[in-house]
Structure 1
Amino acid sequence: MSAGTAHPAAARPRRLAAWGEAALSAAWWAAPAVALLLGLHALRLSDAAEIGSLGLVTALRPEFCGALALLTISFFSGVLHPRPAPGVLLAAHVVVLAVLLFGAATIIEPLPRFISGWLHVGFADYVARTGETLPHLDARFNWPGFFTLAAMATRAAGMPDALPLLGWTPVVLNLLYGAIVFRLARAVSPEPRTAWLALWLFLPANWVGQDYFGPQGLNYAFYLILLTVLVVWFRPSPADRTRRGLDVSPRLARLRDALRLPAAPLLHEPEPARLGRGSAAGLMAAVLVIFTASTASHQLTPVAIVAAVAALALARRCTARSLPVLLGVILVAYISYLTVPYWSGHLEAMFGSVGNVTGTISSGAVQRVRGDDGHRAVVLVRLGFTVAVWLLAAAGAWRRLRAGRGDLAMLALAGAPFAVLALQSYGGEAILRVYAFSLPFMVVLLAALFAPARHARSRVVAAVAAGAVSAAFTAAFFVARYGNESFEQVRPNDVLAVDWLYAHAPPGATLVAVTSNVPWRSRHIERYAYRPLGLDLGPSTLPAIEQEMRRDAEGAYLVLSRGQYVFAESYLGMPAGWGEQLELQVRRSGRFRLVYANPDASIYVLLPASKVETDDKDR
């Protein structure tokens, strides 16, 4: 055997290693397709009738969990391997995860979920038909940007309305959010692994459910794009900050010493991307256009943007130091002149909770723990999920600071949304919005817990820990996001009842329901008077219904439906069977006449007063 020829026994381990790498690579490439097919198959076999008080999770099949487990194992082995999987392969894993997480309800349920989405279809339909808005009809028409855009898009596409867009809007939006989060994380992370981990963890952590067809979903993208532009291209370089003494602060030095951090915890902050003057001017113009579009299409997101940009400026991590002032002027000018029909009669709703942080937290957390046992469990999972993300992000920020790779911009942006708690309760949803606005920056900090991992043993530990966190996030996601699915799903029979109303109720009629959980107003929003009573449901419900209908005795219709009953029982805490008892009272009262019925919904009209009086005398 010549000296240059390897001994067969010595070559065997190399061949085995090569075969092992090839097999691993093949498994990586096969995993997304297998997980997608298995997951879709399991979802198609799932039955919406099995959705219980914990929501969609009770209808999921074991095969679906297997698909998610396969996808998770494959992703983490690929991203934390000494030679990571190609970016296009990791992206394929992320796309499949988004489809399985945010498309699950769309595949299982016969109709697009969420009553608010159907309402937004009706708003866009009105703009498309008339070219106008109705600012006195609904507060949201004072911020009509989204509905105008949706009307233009549906008419340009030749669609009768936007209803076909409802089902897959969450998947599309979350893929967009994920792409922006990845770009942000890549700009501030020491290596690509951290960005991939941040992207992966962002998807199940984004359970809040504001990504449906509506202004808040689009505006969340505006929020992410605008802040990513500032972080990537408009931050001062570390050398410039050192030269100008921007990082020299006695308070920061004392805080650093108290936390036992190294002498320079921000030593290796990322450099900004290089820009010419023309490019910088173009990007700043884009920032202003995006903010103006957001100001004209949503009430809360522009406030969060101003708070975040102000935090960057105060932390001296934005070279456009006067930008928060300019954005504030745009916001105040719009509210002062273009939303007068709303704020002129709702000053208390807009400013009544300013400074009342305790009340805002109570309405967003304590007061939401109500309803039946299932709904209370869902709320507790949501609160626990929120706290867990924040604590893990704090641990990740600590690890970065200890390594001298802290990023004050990320810390400022993660903390800025908490200012919303001092400004607006937003109908009790302020904590949910704070969580959503802080989440992209929290997951970037959180990902630092698992990457970089320099040694083989630490990589194995990081992969196992990251996989465990991902599995916990994914399990909690289906409870936190879809826990209200018993009443957030839209039932076909409820829609059939509304269709009958639109076919038979004359224009100007009053449509009465016990709660707002009815899939109406997806069209004809201006044709009828919609009256969801929203009562403290109890013994006085039937008299209140009759009193409301007597105001339009000749043209009032009462809609009672399964969707309303489940909402009252699960969310409001009414006893089981309450809805059926109410309908029995309606029938026995002798004051109503049944005009339509299907297995889940009934419609009644009032009997003439003379007829009621005659019947009362006969009894």
Structure 2
Amino acid sequence: MKNEALLLSFSKLFGILALVLWGFSLAGSTFSPDTENILKPPLLLFVLAVASLCIGSAFLWKMRTPQTRLLCLYTFIMLIMLWLSPVILQSSPVSAQWTYGIYYPNTQFISQTGGIDPAAYTFHNWPGFFILDYSLSAVSGTSCLDFLAFYGPFLMQILMFVPLYCLFKNIIPNPNHRFAAIWVFYLANWVAQIYFVPQGVGVFFLICLLALITSPGFSLAQGNAVSHRVVVILVLAALTVTHLLTSVAALLCVAALILSRLVKGFNLGILAIVMVGCWTIYGAATQFDSQLPEFVNRAFELENLFQFSSAGSGGEAGAAFLQISQVRFIFSGLFAGLAVLGVLLSLKYRHRFDFPLLALEGVAAVILCSMLYGSEFWTRAFLFSLVPIAYFTVKLLRNRLTTLIMVAVLLVAIPGHLLAHYGAVSDMVSRFDVSAWQYLENYTQRGYISGGISYIKPDYLNLSLKKLNWQDGLLVGQDYTGRYPQYLQIGRSTDVDWVYYYGDSQHVPALETVLEDSPGYGLIYQNREMNIYFNQGAN
């Protein structure tokens, strides 16, 4: 009991220290982690704050008496630190640009027409997220766009916590170790997909499904209780119409749990096959018809696993892009290494969920090797590996040496998380970028868009600045026909993107100088960080 009281006292001390350090770290003017400033104030104070909170939590993980309330508080503080700090410091979550440029137009169409148009809006083939987004605005009586763009990611982490805790409660006997698994899940997740985006909502439903399947009541009734059937049908239906890849992952997870004999019988598997298959063929027919041949040609072409660069063709990637890519692979490897060590320990400390969780990791491997839509599947496969990684990592808490190894790796992983998650500066947008986007949204009806926040919407076509060349006084590319007006968003974020992806700090300033003197383009919008240049085209 004396040791328990000492551990609790140390935990509270480190918890208070974490809050103090975090408060001082918020004195910074911005939140932009990179390899040069990650270990300099104020980011160093931020890293130390999260590290102190991690150490305080680790003391509680090793206690014999349950510390659910305090661990829940520490977890909530950790989520605030990692997901709300960028917004507090006037930066943005990684997903903000997608919320404005990609997802909002899909929701806007539903709000204006009351229906969906899968032919014109590709994402309407899986409209669940956009119907939810529209419903939130309808219930609130006002647009939730700005709120969800900046605060949606944090709220999704809070929402995800509920089924995640239920899942780990089902499969991890020690109450304190469950929170260690939650820490590993969140800290390891640098993939910007568990946000208020279609895949984020899909993963939420997937975790709900896994929590239900692993619950003691479901196992005792073998899933045959009417209440279980109803909930499973509702969750599967919501998941199926929200995100294709995650619904396929759910189908594979169900199959894996049946093969591992955690789920008895084939009823659940048949239900998942029918729902996912029918929606993919019928409900998402537009996407299915247009992209099936490409998917089939690319499926299980393992050489695609090593085509990492999203910057385009090979060696043109900038040093910053390559650096962050390397950080992400090393960071992911750290947690994979912890999980492997946990698998080895499971040979000594066996539990009935060990094999089913290994089977779930097999699902992630199948998804990775399928490569249905390119090298992005590395990140998606890692996303689906987070639950098995968290489960096996906490097995290291079973003895003293491996506990020290686990905590040491988590402490090292804190700056790694910041770099892997927020280090890609091209993913971040400023309020000035949003203002420029709002100008295009409010005052234009069609056009070619280059630079700034992407604009994916019928009658708008995004043209990469990289693929534009000067011809007869205009910046044109292969997809430019002059049929629509042309809008070039040139500013600080455009320059940052160019340096990040291509390592060239001179191109964008030189381009802006030429545009200012060009008779073919006029300046129609300007704020402190972004200018919009306009060409009428043939419109």
TM over 0.5: yes
Q: C-alpha offsets along residues 54-88 of structure 1, whole Å, 9 cap, x if unaligned?
A: 7988784333233223212211112213x446210
Shift of 1:195: 1.9
Structure 2 residue 76 is matched with structure 1 residue 98 = no
Deviation at 1:146, TM superposition (A): 0.6
Aligned position for 2:163:
180
Aligned AA for 1:177? M
Name the amino acid aligned to 2:73: A
- Report the CA distance shift for 1:442/1:185 in structure 2 as closer, same or farther (over 3 A): same
Among candidates 438, 447, 462, match of residue 394 of structure 2: 447
Return the alpha-carbon distance in structure 2 between the equivalents of residues 52 and 276 of structure 1.
50
- State the match for 2:408 in structure 1: 468
Give the C-alpha shift of residue 26 in structure 1. Answer: 5.0
Counterpart of 1:135 in structure 2 is 118
Question: Does residue 220 of the first structure (1) align with residue 190 of the second (2)?
Answer: no
Return the letter of the residue paired with 1:72: C
Give me the TM-score of the superposition, normalised by structure 2: 0.88
Give the corresponding residue for 2:523. 594
Partner of 1:86: 67
What amino acid does structure 2 have at the position aligned with 1:124?
T
Opposite residue 523 of structure 2, the aligned amino acid is L
Cα deviation, 1:238-260, whole Å, max 9, x if unaligned, reads xxxxxxxxxxxxxxxxxxxxxxx
| Residue matched to 1:305 | 250
Task: Please state how far the C-alpha of 1:100 moved relative to its aligned partner.
Answer: 0.7
Correspondence 1:39 to 2:22: yes
In structure 2, the residue matched to 1:564 is 494
> By how many angstroms is 1:277 displaced?
7.7
For residue 562 of structure 1, what is the amino acid of its counterpart? R
2:98 corresponds to which residue? 116
Q: Is the 8 A contact 1:393 1:445 kept in 2?
A: yes
Alignment-mate amino acid for residue 530 of structure 1: Y
SS of residue in 2 equivalent to 1:449: helix
> Is the contact made by 1:365 and 1:383 (CA closer than 8 Å) also made in structure 2?
no
Residues 111-163 of structure 1 deviation map (CA, whole Å, 9 limit, x = unaligned): 55531122323322332232122322231111111100111112101222332
CA RMSD across the alignment: 3.2
Q: For residue 160 of structure 2, give the secondary structure of its aligned residue in structure 1.
A: helix
- Letter of the structure 2 residue corresponding to residue 75 of structure 1: S
Distance change in 2, residues 1:111/1:185 (3 Å) = closer
Q: Which residue of 2 aligns with 1:613?
A: none
**CA 1:330–1:77: 2 relative to 1, 3 Å:** same
Find 1:72's aligned residue among 54, 57, 71: 54
CA distance in 2, matches of 1:55, 1:217: 30
One-letter amino acid matched to 1:439: L
The one of 538, 545, 549 equivalent to 2:476 is 545
Deviation digits for residues 555-602 of structure 1 (CA, Å, limit 9, x no counterpart):
44333333233223312x151121122223334443222333334322
Label 1:511 to 1:608 Cα distance change in 2 as closer, same or farther (>3 A).
Answer: closer
**Which residue among 139, 142, 145 is the counterpart of 1:162?**
145
Counterpart secondary structure, 1:603: strand
Distance 1:463 1:388 in 2: 15
When the two structures are aligned, how many residues end up with a matched partner? 533
Cα distance, 1:102 vs. partner?
A: 1.6
CA distance in 1, matches of 2:422, 2:411: 17
Partner Cα separation in structure 2 for residue 381 and residue 601 of structure 1 = 30
2: CA distance, partners of 1:277 / 1:437? 24
Q: Is the 8 A contact 1:382 1:480 kept in 2?
A: yes
Between the aligned partners of 1:561 and 1:38, the Cα distance in structure 2 is: 34
In 2, distance between residues paired with 1:569 and 1:503? 30
SS in 2 for 1:155: helix
Cα distance in 2 for residues equivalent to 1:409 and 1:138: 38
Residue 391 in structure 1 maps to residue 337 in structure 2: yes
Q: Secondary structure at the match of 1:146?
A: helix
Residue 453 of structure 2, aligned match among 511, 518, 525:
518
Instruction: Name the amino acid aligned to 2:280.
Output: I
Residue aligning to 1:107: 88
Q: Distance in 2 between matches of 1:608 and 1:438?
A: 48
Pick from 232, 249, 268 the counterpart of residue 215 of structure 2.
Answer: 232
CA distance in 2, matches of 1:55, 1:158: 43
Q: CA distance change for structure 1 residues 502 and 116 in 2, over 3 Å: closer, same or farther?
A: closer
Question: Is the 1:312–1:412 Cα contact (8 Å) retained in structure 2?
Answer: yes
Larger of the two Rg values belongs to structure: 1
CA distances 1:353-397 after superposition (whole Å, capped 9, x unpaired): 112132144347998996322221111111112222222212211
Q: What's the CA shift for 1:463?
A: 4.4
The answer to whether the 8 A contact 2:66-2:175 is kept is no
Instruction: Flag structure 1 segments of 5+ consecutive residues without an equivalent.
Output: 1-16, 236-271, 610-619
What amino acid is the match of 1:384?
I
Q: What amino acid maps onto 2:249 in structure 1?
A: A
Q: Flag the 1:594–1:327 CA change in 2: closer, same or farther, 3 A.
A: same
Letter matched to residue 423 of structure 2:
G
Among 368, 374, 380, the alignment partner of 2:326 is 380
Partner of residue 328, structure 1 = 273
Q: Is the 8 A contact 1:417 1:437 kept in 2?
A: yes
Do 2:33 and 2:422's aligned partners in 1 also have CA atoms closer than 8 Å? no
The alignment status of 1:144 with 2:127, answered yes or no, reads yes
Q: Give, as a single letter, the amino acid of the residue that structure 2 aligns with 1:76.
A: A
**1:341 & 1:476 partners in 2: Cα distance?**
40
Contact 1:52 1:58 in 2 (8 A): no
Mean Cα deviation higher: 213-222 or 493-502? 493-502
Q: Is the 8 A contact 1:57 1:479 kept in 2?
A: no
1:296 aligned partner: 241
1:438 aligns with 2:385: yes
Percent sequence identity is 23
Question: Secondary structure of the equivalent of 1:297?
Answer: coil
CA contact (8 A) 1:424 1:430 kept: yes
Q: Cα 1:325–1:450, aligned 2, differ >3 Å: closer, same or farther?
A: same
Distance verdict in 2 for CA 1:322–1:518, change over 3 Å? same
Structure 1 residues 471 and 547: CA distance shift in structure 2, 3 A = closer
1:269 is matched with which residue?
none
Distance in 1 of aligned mates of 2:477 and 2:75: 53
Counterpart for residue 480 of structure 1: 420
Quick check: 1:198–1:447 contact (8 Å CA) kept in 2?
yes
Contact residue 375 and residue 483 of structure 1 kept, 8 A: no
Structure 1 position 499, deviation (Å): 3.2
In the alignment, what sits opposite 1:343? Answer: 288
SS at 1:594's partner residue?
A: strand
Q: Structure 2 CA distance, aligned partners of 1:546 and 1:462?
A: 56
d(CA) in 2 for partners of 1:435, 1:428 = 12
Pick from 204, 221, 228: which aligns with 1:283? 228
Q: Secondary structure at the match of 1:103?
A: helix
CA contact (8 A) 2:119 2:286 kept: yes
Task: Show CA shifts across 1:299-352 (max 9, x none).
Answer: 210111111111112222211324223312211211111222223322334333
Per the alignment, do residues 404 and 601 of structure 1 end up closer, same or farther by CA in structure 2, a change over 3 Å counting?
closer
Could you tell me which runs of 5 or more consecutive residues in structure 2 were left unpaired when the two chains were aligned. Answer: none
TM-score by length of 1: 0.78
Q: Which residue of 2 aligns with 1:534?
A: 464
Go from structure 1 to structure 2 and tell me whether the alpha carbon gap of 1:363 and 1:488 turns closer, same or farther (over 3 Å shift): closer
Q: Check whether the contact 2:106–2:121 (CA below 8 A) recurs between aligned residues.
A: no
Tell me how far apart the structure 2 counterparts of residues 334 and 596 of structure 1 sit (CA, whole Å). 44
